[in-house]
């Protein structure tokens, strides 16, 4: 698959093909400085969530980095406690307020409501989606989507007026969720990959280290390029400036088809343990 530096979502909105992850970046200097480093290194796509408790620092960095707001693509996510129509609307206002921004580029439902937790899980998801759809139509969010949704969670949203544009899932060598990726790509939903380095857990993998040596790249760059070649937008997180910069440097080499297949065939490695069918949060 051709590697895109920029993806065009189904509504024409453009999204940079690598995003900067901020999960576990502590609010305050850690998060602020890492975003400034990322923007200096060339990232134009930043991913946060209400859960990460760093929206204030992310928003501050977006406002103070020296770029125009429209040069950046900023994502946040509604947390599980705010599911449903009214709570989602209120959560969105709170997020914009905390971030000090006028709009978001992308707003995602962080996790689906699921049958294990709620009899009316589908209605809850549809209520959340209705709120997001209205905010989208009012121009307060440029694109809307989901995170951690399986096809069965997406199906009813696909029947609504505005279909999801993005689904963000755990994605890294050793955990590819290929059925989810295939469903999304067949239905015009761009897949973003969270923890594209397995939250660090795949970086010591011997096979990936061999691949990295073969291409004269780091294991992280192999993971990120692998995602990009599979049409998945990786969201690497780091608070270390040299890593932040090297994680964006994935456009000057190509993994062969044979090696792509070999990486895809790796046994399960580095899975977070969060299966959207079983979560209890």
State the residues that interact with ligand A2P by CB under 6 A. Answer: 21, 195-200, 203, 218, 220, 236-240, 243, 246-247
Q: Is 157 or 263 the residue whose CB approaches ligand A2P more closely?
A: 263
Instruction: Kindly compute the dihedral angle of the four CA atoms of residues 28, 141, 248, 54, in this order, to the nearest 10 degrees.
Output: 10
Instruction: Indicate if 52 belongs to the active site.
Output: yes
Cα separation, 169 vs 167, whole angstroms: 6
CB of residue 71 to ligand A2P, shortest distance in Å:
23
In the complex with ligand A2P, which residue's Cβ is closer, 115 or 200?
A: 200
Contact call for residues 190 and 15 (beta carbons, < 8 A): yes
Q: Nearer to ligand A2P by C-beta: 77 or 237? A: 237
The distance of closest approach from Cβ of residue 199 to ligand A2P in the complex, given in angstroms and rounded to an integer, is 4
Least Å from the CB of residue 197 to ligand A2P: 3
CA distance 140 to 138: 6
Q: Which of 3, 39, 17, 1 is nearest to 252 (CA)?
A: 3
Dihedral of CA atoms 97, 54, 49, 208 in degrees, nearest 10, equals 160
Q: How far is the CB of 241 from ligand A2P (least distance, A)?
A: 9
If the CB atoms of residues 112 and 270 are measured against ligand A2P, the closer one turns out to be 270
Q: How far is the CB of 14 from ligand A2P (least distance, A)?
A: 23
Taking CA atoms, 206 is separated from 22, 69, 143, 201, 270, in Å, by 27, 42, 39, 12, 13
Give me the least distance between CB of 233 and ligand A2P, in Å please: 13
Q: Pick the closer one to ligand A2P by CB: 248 or 262.
A: 248
- The dihedral formed by the CA atoms of 73, 169, 157 and 141, expressed in degrees to the nearest 10: -10
Q: Which of 7, 43, 52, 107 does the annotation list as catalytic?
A: 52
Q: Sign (positive/negative) of CA torsion 96, 99, 103, 105?
A: negative
**Token digits of residue 196:** 């594209």
Specify the residue, 16 or 236, whose C-beta has the smaller distance to ligand A2P: 236
Residue among 49, 98, 42, 44 at smallest CA distance from 70 = 44
E strands within 119-158?
141-147
DSSP bridge partners of 78: 109
Catalytic residues: 52
């Amino acid at each position: 698959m051709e590697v895109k530096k920029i993806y065009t979502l189904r509504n024409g909105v453009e999204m940079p093909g690598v995003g900067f992850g901020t999960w576990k970046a502590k609010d305050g200097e850690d998060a602020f400085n890492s975003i400034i480093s990322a923007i200096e290194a060339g990232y134009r796509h930043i991913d946060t969530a209400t859960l990460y408790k760093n929206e204030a620092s992310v928003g501050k960095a977006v406002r103070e980095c020296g770029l125009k707001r429209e040069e950046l693509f900023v994502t946040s996510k509604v947390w599980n406690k705010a599911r449903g129509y009214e709570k989602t609307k209120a959560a969105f206002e709170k997020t914009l307020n905390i971030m000090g921004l006028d709009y978001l580029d992308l707003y995602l439902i962080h996790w689906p409501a699921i049958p294990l937790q709620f009899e009316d899980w589908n209605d809850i998801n549809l209520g959340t989606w209705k709120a997001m759809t209205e905010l989208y139509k009012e121009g307060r969010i440029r694109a809307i989507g989901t995170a951690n949704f399986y096809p069965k969670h997406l199906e009813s949203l696909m029947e609504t007026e505005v279909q999801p544009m993005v689904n963000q899932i755990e994605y890294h060598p050793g955990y590819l969720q290929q059925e989810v990726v295939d469903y999304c790509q067949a239905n015009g939903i761009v897949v973003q990959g969270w923890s594209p380095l397995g939250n660090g857990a795949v970086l010591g993998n011997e096979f990936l280290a061999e691949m990295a040596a073969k291409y004269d790249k780091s294991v992280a760059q192999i993971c990120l390029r692998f995602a990009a070649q599979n049409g998945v937008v990786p969201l690497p997180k780091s608070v270390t400036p040299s890593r932040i910069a090297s994680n964006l440097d994935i456009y000057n080499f190509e993994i062969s088809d044979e090696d792509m297949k070999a990486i895809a065939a790796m046994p399960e490695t580095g899975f977070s343990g969060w299966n959207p069918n079983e979560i209890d949060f």
